[in-house]
Amino acid sequence: MSLCILYHTDGCHLCEQAMALLAQCQVDYQLVDIVFKADLVTLFGTRIPVLENEKGQFLDWPFDYYKIERFLSYKE
C-alpha cells in the first residue's frame, strides 16, 4: 500500500481510533495536525480524521479496514 496522509489533531478520540486502525492495516502514513494551518482547520475542522491517498483523494471518517483497502487499491 502507498504512503498516505492522516489529517488529525491532538486529543481527538476519533483520530486515535483511526491511527490504531491504520496500524492494524499496516498502512504507512504521515500525520498532519490541522491546528497549525488555518486553511486546514477550515477544510477539515469538522471532518477529521481524514485520510488522503497519493492521488489527492480524501476518505472521511468513519472508515474501516475494507474502506481503507478499497480506497488505497485504486487502479491507475
The number of beta carbons lying within 10 Å of the beta carbon of residue 5 is 16
Tell me the helix, strand and coil percentages in the chain, rounded to 5: 40, 20, 40
Q: Which tens digits make up the pLDDT trace of 4-36?
A: 999 999 999 999 999 999 999 999 999 999 999
Side-chain-side CA neighbours of residue 10 (13 Å): 2
Residue 75 clears pLDDT 70, i.e. is over it: no
- Tell me the three cell numbers of residue 32: 498532519
Domain 4-72, CATH 3.90.1150.10 — does that match?
A: no
Q: Would you say residue 68 has pLDDT above 70?
A: yes
SS3 52: strand
- Tell me: pLDDT of 76 over 90: no
Q: What angle do CA 59, 8, 23 make, to 5 degrees?
A: 70
For residue 2, what pLDDT is reported? Answer: 60
**Residue 60: what pLDDT?**
97
